[in-house]
Amino acid sequence: MGGRQRPPKARGARPEAKRRTGRPPGPRADRPAVDPGLEIARLEGYLAWEAEVAAAQRDARAFADRFPWLGPDDREALEQAYTDDRLRYAEEVVDRAVGRCRALAARYRAECRRICARWAAVCLSVAFAVALLAVVPVALHG
For residue range 86-132, list pLDDT tens digits in order: 999 999 999 999 999 999 999 999 999 999 999 999 999 999 999 99
Look up the pTM and report it: 0.58
Quick check: 73 pLDDT over 50? yes
What pLDDT does residue 22 have?
55
Quick check: 55 pLDDT over 90? yes
* Per-residue buried b or exposed e for 8-36, using 16+ beta carbons within 10 Å of the residue's own CB: eeeeeeeeeeeeeeeeeeeeeeeeeeeee
Phi, psi (degrees; rounded to nearest 5) at 28 = -135, 160
Quick check: 58 pLDDT over 90? yes
DSSP secondary structure code for residue 9 in this structure = P
What pLDDT does residue 12 have?
44
Radius of gyration of the chain (CA): 29
